[in-house]
């Protein structure tokens, strides 16, 4: 849309961002509050926080929120178990911002959001007093004009571009028709054409061949600085190194010293153990993610052999999770991969394999899994997951058990996990690779109610 100003490609973004941004005033760096998207958790900001720390941002001024029920309602105006309305989402964000302001003594925060998190940010700034407490707002991949914009189709949902929630947020704020409220400085980051939720065709919402009436420019906002990153997927609009570089320049007015994660020692790890809710009206229909602690869960951590995934001796850390859900702290060894094992009533024993950790983090959240009904005939099930991005067969170099990733389409980036069902007996090594990161695990038996996850860092 030619009326939206400051649309530019990554190659030109450095100069434009430096020109249009205002460096934060006052001593030190401003506190940043990170807001995750639909169904996600604070842990998704792990690598972004590391990048800010690698550029000298104090860890105590980097706060990622954990919305207890992170899924949007089907109908925003109707209560739905395990889901959060736009009003509840905004209220939670406001409470978290107030906590950060009190803890830091700052007068304002920077808000950085991905996807649905941007809806809460916009709602808070426009309707919840955030115009006074927020200096900069960065929205990565937020469907600001909807995932669909079809008159009469699911308009009570917050992702409807023709529904009351988004039309209210997008109403012109001035004679120029700006869609953002001042005096906050606004940045949107979008993909050129690879965001699954900014597509003219309804493929990724289960309506292939049906127009969504949304364009690739859907996340852009009139009156904001609108950055375009070539080929990034929906999550990479926030969690890629390019998104970090763009965000950093906008907030500070200058480029970062590095967009990579700088190694740190010692490495102290912590996070929450969470579970899955059941649909109360129909428990057989499946589970939904939440970010509630799972007290009573048992957590054990094992150092593993990077070539075979086998354990190198007894557990190096263990804990019974309390009401706060925290499983640490744990001092990890540099360069050592780990297996995290969660045991809890009502869940499969969940084996999560992770690459070596480059820095300390308290955002290493671990979720207990359940065996899906369709997988109970398998000898072993292994899920390869990329929380901070999607798999793109045309763009990425990847393999799972030496083969192409099951369930990943040949074009587009709309799948963030891949599952292998093994029908052979016995436990063996299984490996997955993605753009240079390799994770090696073991195929624990499904008949023993065990699930295996290989989780990427980047």
Four-way CATH pick for 7-252: 3.40.50.1820, 2.60.40.10, 3.40.640.10, 3.20.20.70: 3.40.50.1820
Cα–Cα distance, 187 to 6 (Å, whole number) = 10
Structure-token pair, residue 14 = 């450095």
Please tell me the predicted confidence (pLDDT) of residue 452: 98
Q: Count other Cβ atoms within 10 Å, centred on residue 201.
A: 13
Is the four-CA dihedral 43, 48, 53, 58 of positive or negative sign? Answer: negative
Q: Is 361 helix (H, G, I), strand (E, B) or coil?
A: strand
Domain residues of the chain, as ranges? 7-252, 267-455
Please tell me the predicted confidence (pLDDT) of residue 282: 53
Please tell me the predicted confidence (pLDDT) of residue 186: 98
Please tell me the predicted confidence (pLDDT) of residue 16: 40
Q: Count other Cβ atoms within 10 Å, centred on residue 122.
A: 31
Please tell me the predicted confidence (pLDDT) of residue 182: 85
CA atoms lying within 13 Å on the CB side of residue 31: 22
Please tell me the predicted confidence (pLDDT) of residue 15: 36
Buried b vs exposed e over 387-417: b needs ≥16 C-beta within 10 Å?
bbbbbbeebbebebbeeebeebeeebbbbbb
Q: Is 432 helix (H, G, I), strand (E, B) or coil?
A: strand
What does each of the 458 residues of the chain score in pLDDT, given as a tens digit? 333 333 333 433 443 444 344 444 334 799 999 999 999 999 999 999 999 999 999 999 999 999 999 999 999 999 999 999 999 999 999 999 999 999 999 999 999 999 999 999 999 999 999 999 999 999 999 999 999 999 999 999 999 999 999 999 999 999 999 999 889 999 999 999 999 999 999 999 999 999 999 999 999 999 999 999 999 999 999 999 999 999 999 999 999 999 999 999 999 999 999 999 976 655 545 688 999 999 999 999 999 999 999 999 999 999 999 999 999 999 999 999 999 999 999 999 999 999 999 999 999 999 999 999 999 999 999 999 999 999 999 999 999 999 999 999 999 999 999 999 999 999 999 999 999 999 999 999 999 999 999 999 99
Beta strands in 369-424 (DSSP E): 380-385, 398-400, 417-422
Please tell me the predicted confidence (pLDDT) of residue 55: 98
Structure-token pair, residue 341 = 């094992």
Please tell me the predicted confidence (pLDDT) of residue 286: 64
Class of domain 267-455: mainly beta
Cα–Cα distance, 321 to 297 (Å, whole number) = 5
């Amino acid at each position: 849309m030619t009326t939206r100003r400051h649309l530019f490609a990554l190659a030109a973004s450095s100069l434009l961002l430096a020109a249009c941004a205002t460096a934060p005033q006052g001593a030190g760096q401003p506190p940043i509050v990170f807001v995750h998207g639909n169904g996600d958790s604070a842990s998704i900001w792990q690598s972004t926080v590391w990048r800010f720390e690698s550029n000298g941002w104090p860890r105590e001024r980097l706060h990622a929120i954990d919305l207890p029920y992170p899924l949007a309602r089907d109908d925003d105006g109707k209560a739905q178990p395990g889901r959060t309305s736009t009003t509840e989402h905004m209220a939670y964000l406001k409470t978290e911002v107030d906590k950060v302001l009190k803890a830091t003594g700052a007068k304002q925060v920077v808000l950085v959001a991905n996807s649905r998190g941007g809806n809460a940010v916009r709602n808070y700034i426009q309707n919840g007093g955030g115009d006074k407490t927020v200096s900069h707002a960065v929205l990565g991949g937020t469907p600001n004009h909807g995932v669909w914009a079809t008159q009469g189709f699911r308009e009570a949902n917050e992702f409807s571009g023709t529904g009351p929630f988004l039309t209210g947020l997008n109403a012109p704020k001035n004679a120029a028709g700006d869609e953002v409220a001042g005096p906050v400085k606004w940045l949107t980051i979008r993909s050129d054409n690879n965001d699954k939720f900014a597509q003219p065709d309804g493929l990724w919402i289960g309506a292939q061949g049906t127009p969504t009436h949304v364009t690739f420019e859907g996340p852009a906002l009139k009156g904001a600085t609108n950055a375009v990153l070539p080929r990034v997927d929906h999550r990479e609009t926030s969690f890629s190194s390019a998104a970090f570089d763009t965000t950093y320049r906008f907030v500070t007015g200058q480029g970062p010293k590095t967009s990579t994660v700088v190694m740190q020692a010692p490495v102290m790890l912590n996070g929450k153990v969470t579970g899955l809710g059941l649909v109360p009206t129909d428990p057989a229909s499946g589970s939904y993610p939440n970010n509630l602690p799972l007290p009573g869960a048992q957590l054990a951590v094992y150092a593993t052999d990077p070539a075979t995934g086998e354990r190198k001796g007894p557990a190096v850390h263990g804990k019974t999770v309390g009401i706060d859900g925290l499983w640490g702290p744990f001092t990890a060894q540099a360069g050592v991969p780990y297996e995290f094992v969660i045991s809890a009533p009502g869940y499969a024993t969940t084996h999560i394999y992770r690459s070596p950790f480059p820095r300390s983090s308290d955002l290493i959240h671990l979720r207990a899994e359940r065996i899906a009904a369709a997988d109970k005939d398998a000898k072993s099930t292994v899920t390869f997951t990329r929380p901070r991005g999607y798999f793109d067969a045309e763009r990425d170099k990847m393999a799972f058990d030496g083969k192409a990733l099951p369930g990943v389409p040949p074009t587009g980036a709309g799948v963030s996990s891949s599952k292998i069902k093994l029908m052979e007996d016995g436990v063996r090594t299984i490996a997955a690779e993605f753009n240079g990161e390799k994770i090696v695990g073991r195929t624990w038996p499904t008949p023993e109610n065990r699930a295996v996850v290989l989780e990427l860092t980047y």
